A and B are shown apart, each in its own frame.
Chain A
Amino acid sequence: QVQLVESGGGVVQPGGSLRLSCAASGFTFTTYGMHWVRQAPGKGLEWVAFIRYDGSNKYYADSVKGRFTISRDNSKNTLYLQMNSLRAEDTAVYYCARSGRNYYDRSGSDSAFDIWGQGTMVTVSS
């Protein structure tokens, strides 16, 4: 079945780095853009970053620009989020989500985050 599975979360000190992974299965990963979305404890959803299906374009929230890097390895059906210079306010559950537009047949929509992973917790604390 269509599935996204995040991994790589954990506890890291302020100023440290962490790399999250999101393994995709059950669909043609190479034809979909992908997002990272986070949710701080007890707070709402915050969009973090987006990468096009072919990795040609990447977009970031102002809160993470210059510190986080989104990337993908289409040969491994895997999405990544490299997080550097981590701050306490980066503490959150990080979700990967599929963008709803299929760039092969142009079906679906860029407005839809249609498949979500279960999330991985990142805690930034000394």
Chain B
Amino acid sequence: QSALTQPASVSGSPGQSITISCTGTSSDVGGYNYVSWYQQHPGKAPKLLIYDVTKRPSGVSNRFSASKSGNTASLTISGLQAEDEADYYCSSYTSSSTWVFGGGTKLTVL
């Protein structure tokens, strides 16, 4: 049950777009369309942004979008805003009937 691989940090200026990658294996990310993404502000609980690879829950801004290719999933945030500064985590269901999270990515809005 190794954690999915995410970049430790990314940054961007307001209005720009950034992409966070999430790399797993054929036993998790590549094997199922059960990838989700979470935003976590300091001291707060995580918030669901994306599920089933590309689906956004109601109430989540359409500035958040996601995709998957092979064993790598990606989250894109367009039109960066100051409030997007947070930690972001991916998650995937696995072939062991368990779930695994990525190590997390700290987004800095310059």
Task: Please list the residues of chain A having a beta carbon within 8 angstroms of any beta carbon in chain B.
Answer: 35, 37, 44-47, 50, 59-63, 95, 97, 100, 109-114, 116-119
Complex CA–CA separation, A95 to B45 (angstroms): 8
A100–B1 touching, CB < 8 Å = no
Q: Report if A100-B103 is in contact (Cβ < 8 Å); known contacts: A111-B35, A112-B57.
A: no
Q: How large is the interface on B (under 10, 10 to 19, 20 to 34, 35 or more residues)?
A: 20 to 34
B46–A61 touching, CB < 8 Å = no
Cβ–Cβ < 8 Å partners of B100 in chain A: 47
B52–A111 touching, CB < 8 Å = yes
B45–A116 touching, CB < 8 Å = yes
Select which of B48, B53, B97 is within 8 A of A59 by beta carbon: B97
A45–B34 touching, CB < 8 Å = no
B98–A113 touching, CB < 8 Å = no
